[in-house]
Chain A
Amino acid sequence: MKGILKLGFKLLVNDKAKFTALILGITFAVYLMMFVTSMFFGVLNHASANIINVGSTIWVMDPYVESVSNSVGMPNYVLDAVRSMHGVKYAVPLYSGGALVKLADGNYQPVTVVGLDDTSLLGRPALLEGKIENIYAENGFIVVRDAEFSKLENPHIGSEFELNDNRAVIVGIAQVATSGLYGIPTLYTTYERAIQYIPNPRFTISYVLVEPKSMDDIPQIRQQVEALGYQARTKEEFMKRTEDFFIYKTGGGINILIMTAVSFIIGLSISGQTFYTFILENLERFGALKAIGIKSRDLIGMILFQATFTAMTGYGMGVGACVLLIWLAKLRLPSYAAMLTYSSLVIGFVMVAIIAAISSYFGIRKVLQIDPFSIFRG
């Protein structure tokens, strides 16, 4: 079989024009599909930035919250009620909202303000500069150093600005695991200061962060919260809900599906058509092989090998091109929202496998149909 596969390999790669077209077709399709899905997974990851950065095990929220960035205020009694529930180790409030910062040059810059529980500072970011206790200092804010940092004119410790007509002072510079989705800087302060500085509706608690006594307590906490008219979601569930919101309710998911389908069709049409043409051009010679005595299973094996080799080479090159482009983009834009995930790799692999299967199916069908007698008839 090794010799027959080598024969198939030589027949394939020695036809340089067709082989190049086949590889480019699949490479382009894989690249396009991987890039689009990487962008999407990157966006989803950034959309869940607050959930990842704060890192609480359970998030209690209004049932109508669909993504972490669109919170619905809850009354203070919810916090008290949750604290008294069975299985709860501790629970703290979290504020998340938007505000306008007036910069030194007179321009206004929107920011996300995260208000941490005054007592525990649960969900605080890792500091690059400054001390966390300075957050309690008068007008103290911690700024996140990410791709949006420069929009606040690259502040340093001691920098001052106006936040909703209140004086604010930078007391620390932090880093977080994931930047936000909306391209605006993030400030951390205490919960009390956040609700004091930012005009709010009647209810001010965005989320109640809960730490259960044990993971086994999560179901009963969930039940008790539901009885209260609210919802308790684990970190993973909340991320999934946020992702679902972006997939199903923003059109993003449909767009990705369309782009993936387009790249699949491009890949299939280029490589399927080229592979089929390759088979057609060699059809009489395949007929001659049948007359000489090749067995059908060897012929099928040879064509499957050709299709698989082409598909896997194109897949590798497509993934490589995608990785290279994301790497180059991240050199320039560190928080570039593209993330190559196992899901992208698996989706790309499955797509390429389908392209190879369809291409080889038509080729095999054609080759099996050819009657070696037709070789004699000319």
Chain B
Amino acid sequence: MPHVAIQAKGLEKWFGEGEAKTTALRDVELEAYFGEMLYIVGPSGSGKTTLLSVLSGVLKPNSGSVRVEDVDIWSLGADRLADFRLNKIGFVFQDFHLFPRLTTAENAAIPLILRKRDWDECIREAINYLEIVGLKGRADLPPVKLSGGEQQRVAIARAMVSQPDILIMDEPTASLDGDTGNAILSFVHKNVLNPNRCIVVVTHDNRIFEFASRILHMEDGRLTTAEKGKA
């Protein structure tokens, strides 16, 4: 029996009030396990990104709970929640969100810097992870000198550098061409996923479904069907 990494119960989330009220999550329940690559898929506006934000401690639900490694994350105060994200979760954003004025290594080192570790040590570790993601010799370049695929690899290095238990990937292939997207997810599946890590991917790109352990379908704020992935 695999260990539960994330357990969500009765998640409800809506935006606005009265006539402007839009419900994004309706009684969502899910479990994500260590060692799996869980895909949440569905059409635009189905609530995938909202669910990802709630699971990762970024967006507070109106009701329900999220437990990560048996900790109810939404019962934590603001500072402890920030610490939780910093220490437990790695984020790969859709648009990478790399700082163009920093070098690739400095970008990748950000989670370690935010942990207030020694600057040089952070950069050394970031360079190691850049080598792992195949960006050896690119540490001193600014992100704008890199291709889209390479920038996504920097974002993955940044997410991995603090060795998080959970990796959150939001539309990781949205800004990439098909081949590059496929290569990135293949790399993540082979090199980032391990028995002590859970990866949650939100996507509507069916070209990368082959790397999923499980696929949860979302529609209109509800998890509708679940299927086993090919990986």
Q: Do A and B come from one complex?
A: yes
A interface list, Cβ under 8 A from B: 1-4, 6-7, 10-11, 14-15, 282, 284-285, 287-296, 298, 371-373, 375-378
A378 lies within 8 A of B85 (CB): no
Interface centre among B49, B89, B101, B117 (most CB of A within 10 A): B101
**CB neighbours of A11 from chain B (8 A):** 99, 101-102
C-alpha gap A207/B159 in the complex (Å) = 82
**CB neighbours of B110 from chain A (8 A):** 7, 289, 292
Q: Total number of A-B contacts with CB less than 8 angstroms?
A: 88
**CB neighbours of B52 from chain A (8 A):** 376
**CB neighbours of A298 from chain B (8 A):** 114
- B53 near A: Cβ within 8 Å? yes
Contact of B97 among A15, A284, A294 (CB under 8 A): A284
Question: Which residue on B lies nearest to A18, using beta carbons?
Answer: B101
A377 lies within 8 A of B101 (CB): no
- B83 near A: Cβ within 8 Å? yes
C-alpha gap A4/B115 in the complex (Å) = 9
Contact of B99 among A282, A293, A295, A373 (CB under 8 A): A282
Contact of A378 among B91, B95, B101 (CB under 8 A): B95
B93 lies within 8 A of A288 (CB): yes
B93 lies within 8 A of A376 (CB): yes
**CB neighbours of A2 from chain B (8 A):** 116, 119
B interface list, Cβ under 8 A from A: 49, 52-53, 56, 58-59, 78-79, 82-87, 89, 91, 93-95, 97-99, 101-102, 106, 110-111, 113-114, 116-119, 122, 170
A289 lies within 8 A of B114 (CB): yes
Can you name 11 A-B residue pairings with CB atoms under 8 Å? A1-B116, A4-B116, A10-B101, A14-B101, A15-B101, A282-B99, A284-B97, A285-B97, A289-B114, A295-B78, A295-B82
**CB neighbours of A284 from chain B (8 A):** 95, 97
- CB contact under 8 A between A377 and B49, given known A11-B101, A11-B102, A291-B91: yes
B53 lies within 8 A of A6 (CB): no
C-alpha gap A50/B128 in the complex (Å) = 75
**CB neighbours of A373 from chain B (8 A):** 53, 58-59
B99 lies within 8 A of A292 (CB): no
Interface centre among A11, A15, A282, A378 (most CB of B within 10 A): A378
C-alpha gap A262/B28 in the complex (Å) = 59
